Structure 1
Amino acid sequence: MVALIAGLLLLAFTVIAVHPAVLGWGPEIIMFLKGFAPFFAAFVGLIAVFIGVADIKDKNEAKKEEAASKRQDAKNE
């Protein structure tokens, strides 16, 4: 409940901060977003690459375990 209230308050502050008649931070926020976007894209891309590599490793490990399990089952029969 506290997180919901905090989130709503932060959203309200964002709307007030961007509104040109209140604080007039709109141009600064746009400038920040323009500068931040490439770094954010690089960060998200890097995380996606790490997740992809981990997924490939997990699939290879699962295949090895499945093959070992089949060999063990064939050996026991």
Structure 2
Amino acid sequence: MLGAIAEEGNYTGKVAFVSVANDSDHPLQMVVNAFTRRGVKVYKTKGNVIRHSKNMPDREGWVSLVKLEFEQKIEEWDE
């Protein structure tokens, strides 16, 4: 669905926004890693109202997101 694994550090121009509650453990790290391996930047809302803009002023109550990073350690998978 996302395509082939990209060379490490390559960005394909794709972005994934994960809308989750503040205390949510989603997305699983293995999912973040799968997206990252395919050159997709992954962000999660953590219950915030977000803004996606370029060269625009800040808006009260809106926040920017921090990109989720690839991690070597992932969750255990229960079959």
TM over 0.5: no
Which structure has the larger Rg over C-alpha atoms?
Answer: 1
User: Please, what TM-score do these two structures have when normalized by structure 1?
Assistant: 0.19
Could you say which structure has the higher helix fraction?
Answer: 1
Could you say which structure has the higher strand fraction?
Answer: 2
**Which protein has greater RCO, CA pairs closer than 8 Å, 6+ apart?**
2
User: Please, what TM-score do these two structures have when normalized by structure 2?
Assistant: 0.19
